[in-house]
Chains A and B, each alone.
Chain A
Amino acid sequence: MNPALGLLRREIAIAWGRGGGLMVTGGFFAGATLLLPLASGPEPERLAQIAPGAAWTVLALSALLGLERLFERDYEDGALDLMAHASLPLEFTCALKCLGHWLATGAPLAVLAPLAAIALGASPALAPLLFACALAGGLAFAFTGGIGAALSLGARRGGLLTAVIVLPLFVPPVIFGGGALHAFDSGLPWRAGFALLGAYAAAAVAVGPLAMAAACRNALS
């Protein structure tokens, strides 16, 4: 079998299977969405105003969940060492790991996000854009998140550190996606925000693997 394809299947299987996968991220997503009306009051008008933004925020937070497992387990059991010496470049391996992570958790969350927004009272017309934003944003979250996960290899309390590193990197995609959603909601041109979100995702896919591979080599050295 093609080694790249095999690696991708392995990553998806790990992200999806062991440790709950979608059950965990989906459960977190649903739980965090549930807390919002409980915390801010159930008045439909007010909820509807913040629904798209809330779904978008919860999506960004959910993207943090699986990150610590992205490299940590392979680092501990030595698989990452093997990958660093395999025929595939480590940059490509890191990109495949993030892609697998996104396919297993980010893409299913993109289906859940419009449901959550509609449940909170957002207009159903918003659903396609939110789905598209969540897909592109999820890709950006996975690839920037991977940088944080790789950097905190070998650190004390790596999982928490990953979140501290990654959340500032999530700011631009959250702004762009939130801007596009807000503009669509108020009938303004939304394409600019969405295009910027896509650009950020593309840049993350292009640059992220370089930083991840450098960080992995550093941790393994």
Chain B
Amino acid sequence: MTQALAFLYNPHRFMAFSAWAAPLLGALALGLAAAGLWLGFTAPEDYQQGDTVRIMFIHVPAAWLGLFVYLCMGGASFLSLVFRQALADAAARAAAPLGAVFTGLALATGSLWGKPMWGTWWVWDARLTSVFVLFLFYLAYMALRAAIDDEAKGARAAAILALVGLVNVPVVHWSVEWWNTLHQGRTVFAAGGSRAASVFLVPLFLMSLSYMAGFGSLWLVRIRGEVWRRRAAAAEARLAR
């Protein structure tokens, strides 16, 4: 693990690696999404949820990814804060908008599902609220980064905030058990095996992998962009001298 990270720390090696890894992951994401969506739309209707069960194939992976991206961002922030790795900081910065999009997607699709199933667009259930809080954490992270002019200082302040926000992640995860109100409890990873039927589990699984690969691809592309931006800024500074 540390060796893999040490390999990627080197920007040159990272650029060489990501040049083929990003398109590969992107193609993988598209293929998995095609398979997952095909199986999802040909799956039988759920006996309770009817056709709306298909929203789950979009919604559930987005909610997972919202959390997962925050973990990635927190890990990258830790590396940049403790080991002062410039590339780790670029990774944290690149992850934030992606995570915000995934959480936003989870909130929007959850709302679309909630209207026919619960009869309301939004309920102040603990789990919805904590995903909303996660979304606000992404916004706060990006706002803090944008508000500090000195880039190095802004990066470290944002990294501290990301680590503080990691405290929120377990709250999101276990809030279902803490305040089990309207949102259904865990189904896929429930104790004693999954409670979902396999016709729904397979497309869900494929869609999750697709989201994961898509995130990996976009993340690499964004980190590459960040590296290019810094190289351009460095070149500009050299020219100005």
Binding site for B on A (CB under 8 A): 147, 151-152, 154-158, 161, 164-165, 167-169, 171-172, 175, 179, 203, 207, 211, 214-215, 218-219, 221
> Given the complex, which residues of B lie within 8 Å of A172, measured CB to CB?
168, 171
> Given the complex, which residues of A lie within 8 Å of B160, measured CB to CB?
147, 151, 211, 214-215, 218
> Given the complex, which residues of A lie within 8 Å of B154, measured CB to CB?
155
Interface residues of B in 140-181 (CB under 8 A from A): 140, 143-144, 147-150, 153-154, 156-157, 160-161, 163-165, 167-168, 171, 179
Least CB distance from B174 to A in Å reads 12
Known contacts A165-B140, A168-B133, A171-B129, A218 near B157 by CB under 8 Å = yes
> Given the complex, which residues of B lie within 8 Å of A152, measured CB to CB?
144, 147, 157
> Given the complex, which residues of A lie within 8 Å of B126, measured CB to CB?
175
Subset of 9 A-B contacts with CB under 8 Å: A152-B144, A161-B147, A164-B139, A164-B140, A168-B133, A171-B133, A171-B168, A218-B157, A218-B160
Least CB distance from A218 to B in Å reads 4
Do the beta carbons of B168 and A156 come within 8 Å of each other?
Answer: no
Do the beta carbons of B164 and A154 come within 8 Å of each other?
Answer: no
Q: How far is A179 from B147 in the complex, measured between Cα atoms in Å?
A: 35
> Given the complex, which residues of B lie within 8 Å of A203, measured CB to CB?
167
Closest to B134 in A: A168
Contact with A along B113-133 (1 / 0, CB 8 A): 000000000000010011001
Interface centre among A179, A211, A214 (most CB of B within 10 A): A214
Do the beta carbons of A218 and B153 come within 8 Å of each other?
Answer: yes
Q: How far is A147 from B149 in the complex, measured between Cα atoms in Å?
A: 19
> Given the complex, which residues of B lie within 8 Å of A157, measured CB to CB?
147
> Given the complex, which residues of B lie within 8 Å of A211, measured CB to CB?
160, 163-164
Least CB distance from B92 to A in Å reads 15
Q: How far is A152 from B154 in the complex, measured between Cα atoms in Å?
A: 9
Interface size bucket, B side? 20 to 34
> Given the complex, which residues of A lie within 8 Å of B153, measured CB to CB?
154, 218-219, 221
Could you say which of A154, A164, A168, A169 contacts B148, with CB atoms under 8 Å apart? A154
Least CB distance from A196 to B in Å reads 9
- A interface: dominant SS: helix
Could you say which of B129, B133, B136, B148 contacts A155, with CB atoms under 8 Å apart? B148
Do the beta carbons of A167 and B147 come within 8 Å of each other?
Answer: no
Least CB distance from A52 to B in Å reads 16
Do the beta carbons of A168 and B140 come within 8 Å of each other?
Answer: yes
Do the beta carbons of B136 and A151 come within 8 Å of each other?
Answer: no
Task: Supply 10 further A-B pairs (C-beta < 8 A) apart from A156-B147, A172-B171, A211-B164.
Answer: A151-B160, A151-B161, A154-B150, A155-B157, A161-B143, A168-B165, A169-B164, A171-B130, A215-B157, A219-B157
Closest to A179 in B: B179
> Given the complex, which residues of A lie within 8 Å of B149, measured CB to CB?
156
Closest to A204 in B: B167
> Given the complex, which residues of A lie within 8 Å of B143, measured CB to CB?
161, 164-165
Q: Is B137 an interface residue (CB 8 A)?
A: yes
Could you say which of A165, A179, A207, A218 contacts B156, with CB atoms under 8 Å apart? A218
Least CB distance from A6 to B in Å reads 28
Q: How far is A90 from B195 in the complex, measured between Cα atoms in Å?
A: 52
